[in-house]
Structure 1
Amino acid sequence: GRDTVIWPQTHLIGTCVVGEDCVLGPNTRLTNVRVGDRCSVDETVGIDVVLENDITCGPRAYLRPGTHVLDGAHIGTHVEIKKSTIGKGSKVPHLSYIGDTTMGAGVNIGAGSITCNYDGVNKHPTTIGDDTFIGSDTMMVAPVNIGSHAVTGAGGTITQDVPDGALAVERTEQRIIEGYSERKRARK
């Protein structure tokens, strides 16, 4: 499209369609990808992906087949997405894996969060409703549904459905063992 900039080391492979006023790269490889208007795709690998309008992606994002990112969403650094829909205005800012997921609009995924979609035999889906906040380092063990306007506490392992508007907190009790380092050094 008009006014699109393609920076060095950017490769468009197969059937790619890129809209207007986009910035691709540097260091981006897109294979069979459709990119809408006003998108920024920086240091990203994308294969069989659809990026709608006003998307920011990267650096160092990996978008695997079946990924569909809706208008205004943000995919950040060191994020991998596979066979998932990322809702309008939703954010997966950094250090996360989202697989086999349907995500609503306005969702925020905290750093280090993972949809645990594979049980060793089968893949399972995760659903996240609109305007939900996923706390950092949340493991969502699929199959699981997290409702709209819900919140998960940081560091949780979510194994049960979370109703709309609920807070899901899962943590074991923290233990403090005083003098541990000193005793360990003394044994050496």
Structure 2
Amino acid sequence: MPRAIIDDELLDAVLPSRRRPAPYAVHPVRQDDHEPVADLDQRRTAWMRDRGLPVDPGRPVLSCLSESTAVRGVQLWVLYEGTLLQGAVATSLAPALDVQWRQQDGETSLWILDMVTDPSAHDAPGRWMTWWLASAFHRFTCISAVTCHESLARKVAGLHVMELRTDARQTSPHLLRRRTRHVPRLRNFVACPDPVVTVPAHPRC
């Protein structure tokens, strides 16, 4: 059975039965996660630089590890496979860049500010984190991210099965969106506590 989720139609066929233990676990960052997250970010940064990929300074994932630099409303989630940290994702109720997109009334979004994954992971941990967010935060309309790097946007859109949009008035930034859908069976693959957003205000997509 393939481990990669392709799209909504194949979701039920891919997810394991309830009798199987979930190979992944997600939880909000804790003190004992700080060192593994910092190490993961260093390895991922080195991997990207070796391949000539853009690396943004001041990553939100790292700022979440310090109380003095943490931004109100930004939360960090970590994904483990057993005892191995496979990924970390920083989320917020506001986008990382100040952009204006056309939206329908009542739409709300949880924004992915930053995501770091293990470059040696045998699976696609970033995809599992995105799918978990889209299910766990189904009270939002969508999970969104924005980037100025076209190559990165296209890669993430394809790998994480997200819609890619570019503002017609300019070539960047690029908006990535995935509609939310509550998928209870996803807990059979990604075990997690019920997530809580720390800030009640919900900006629109």
| TM, length-normalised to structure 2 | 0.22
Larger strand proportion of the pair: 1
Larger helix proportion of the pair: 2
